Amino acid sequence: MSTQTEQVKKRRRFPLPSFGVQVLLGLVLGLALGVVAIQIGPVGDGEPNWLATTLETIGGTFVTLLRTIVPPLIVLAVISSIANLRNVTNAARLAWKTLLWFAITALVSVAIAITLGLVVRPGLNSAVDDSNLAEPGSQGSWLAFIESLVPANFLGLAAETNADDLSTSLSFNALQLIVIAVVLGIAAVKVGKPAEPFINFTESTLQVVLKALWWVIRLAPIGTVGLLGNAVYSYGWTTIGALGKYTITIYIGLALVLFVVYPIVALVNGLSPAKYFSGVWPAVQLGFVSRSSMGTMPVTQQVTEQNLGVPRYYSAFAVPFGATTKMDGCAAIYPAISAIFVAQFFGIELAFTDYLLIVFVSVIGSAATAGTTGATVMLTLTLSTVGLPLEGVGLLLAVDPILDMGRTATNVAGQALVPAVVAKREGILDLVRYNARRGSTGFVPLDEPGTLSAEAEERDPEAERATAGSSAKS
């Protein structure tokens, strides 16, 4: 007994820092190693040195692990959520209110972006080189959203072949996976009792996937070192150059949305901004260094359910859908300021109707580019809609990776906020869990007792209690 007591004391004497602190340490270490890699410099014919290669491998492996778990998580979570929604009377209202709040926050974000573009005027007196400009290879299309809804195959797989080295890469279309999962979920509900084994298998498998996801999340501090270190080495901060004014304007807009708009939205809906930030911060950190909303989506869903108290049957729909269409950073702040920059750079006067078109594309256009997600694609859609030269995209590519960090962090924060707001307004948010103390991992412990609001219990006691029980078991 005394030996066990001494071991416990020894463990307490040297406790590991919290998960959030570990990620912050990863950021600092990654930044430092990136600077060291720059000082070492390239080897041979401009090839990355050993440290840069190591950082790239570590970061790339971590993002690959996250992306690997996205397809099964989307399919299993959406099917399970639809199965749970069969007993919920307000499913349709949850869906349209989610879309409404997506639009509201996007509208506010693009208004901020247009104001900054007109006040700061980042495109005037820019020293950026405009030689050898060419139109981008990929462009946004208003038909892309409709086309992307139709799965090309049962697994939502897409293949891309590189003619230079005759290599083929496979990727999952998240929106098509959602469509497939929705169809399977509705079919299972319609089949009824014979489908119960399928639904039970889906829910059990989801628990296994969530456990594996947690193991991947615990690697985030290590992945952060590789991701940020590789970003510093690959792009550095010197690439800002003549686009410094433009870059600062983008980040001011992103900061206003993340640290002003989102807290106000939370506060207006009776939610603590401090608890919101502490709850969503693990996903925001990962989004910043990974630069991928889809890669961060598993963590976003984890914080939405476990920290913010959103029921799984709702978050399983809202978070994956938001990861493909809810992009205040990529679809509102970035294209609006960039379009104004391009217009100012080429000396083109924008009329009032042009600004209205920018607003329209920012609020609606993210859905139109969901099948070909990317800020550059979103920018080409905005420029072509307003009638600005697409060659302007080439002006901004030098700083795009640096901007993508802030854009993705903002996107992820909004993707978690909207489900929490809608759940609060519908009376299904677990307020005890939302306001609970975050553990050393940065997440509310799974065995933390949660209490649903009386309104939620009164609306649908069986479905809510079942969902709460399922969350506790995970």
d(CA 280, CA 418): 12
For 43-52, 102-111, 154-163, 401-410, which range has the lowest pLDDT when averaged over its residues?
154-163
Given this model, what pLDDT does residue 154 score?
72
Does 152 have pLDDT greater than 50? yes
Please tell me the chain's helix, strand, coil percentages from 3-state DSSP, rounded to the nearest 5: 75, 5, 25
- The predicted model gives 3-19 an average pLDDT of 56
Q: What are the tens digits of pLDDT across the range 433-447?
A: 999 887 666 677 665
DSSP symbols for 20-61: HHHHHHHHHHHHHHHHHHHHH--BTTTB--HHHHHHHHHHHH
Query: Contact, 186 vs 78, CB < 8 A?
Result: no
pLDDT at 259 over 90: yes
| E strand or H helix that includes residue 170 | strand 167-172
pLDDT band at 421 (very low <50, low <70, confident <90, very high): very high
Residue 418 has pLDDT above 90, yes or no: yes
Per-residue pLDDT reduced to its tens digit, 302-313: 899 989 999 988
Average pLDDT over residues 93-109: 89
Q: Give the whole-angstrom CA distance, residue 381 versus residue 399.
A: 19
Q: Are strands 157-162 and 167-172 parallel, antiparallel or unpaired?
A: antiparallel
Task: Quick: pLDDT tens for 320-340.
Answer: 878 777 788 888 899 899 999
pLDDT digits (tens, 9 = 90+) for 198-245: 988 988 898 888 788 778 878 878 888 888 888 778 766 555 555 788
20 versus 344: which is more confidently predicted?
A: 344
Structure tokens at 285: 């950190």
Nearest partner of 430 among 267, 280, 307, 272, judged by Cα:
307
Residue 348: DSSP 8-state: P
Q: Tell me how far apart the alpha carbons of residues 304 and 271 are, in angstroms, rounded to a whole number.
A: 14
- CB atoms under 10 Å from CB of 446, counted, come to 15
Across-strand partners of 159?
A: 170
Q: 138-147, 149-158, 169-178, 453-462: lowest mean pLDDT where?
A: 453-462
Task: Give residue 315's identity as a one-letter amino acid code.
Answer: S
For 132-192, the DSSP string reads T----S----TTHHHHHHS-SSTT-EEEEEETTTTEEEEEE-HHHHHHHHHHHHHHHHHH-
| Mean local confidence (pLDDT), 149-172 | 66
**Percent of residues, the chain, with pLDDT higher than 70:** 73
| Structure confidence at residue 258 (pLDDT) | 95
pLDDT on residue 186: 85
Identify the residue with better confidence: 411 or 41.
Answer: 411
| Tens-place pLDDT, residues 358-413 | 888 888 766 555 444 456 767 877 887 788 887 777 777 777 778 888 998 999 99
Contact 246, 396 (CB under 8 A): yes
Find the mean pLDDT for residues 20-49: 83
pLDDT band at 105 (very low <50, low <70, confident <90, very high): very high
Q: Is the pLDDT of residue 274 over 80?
A: yes
Whole-model pTM: value is 0.72
Contacts of 7 (CB under 8 A, 6+ apart): none
Residue 99 to residue 420: CA distance in whole angstroms: 13
3-state DSSP assignment of residue 169: strand
CB 393 within 8 A of CB 133: no
Query: Mean pLDDT of all residues in the chain?
Result: 77
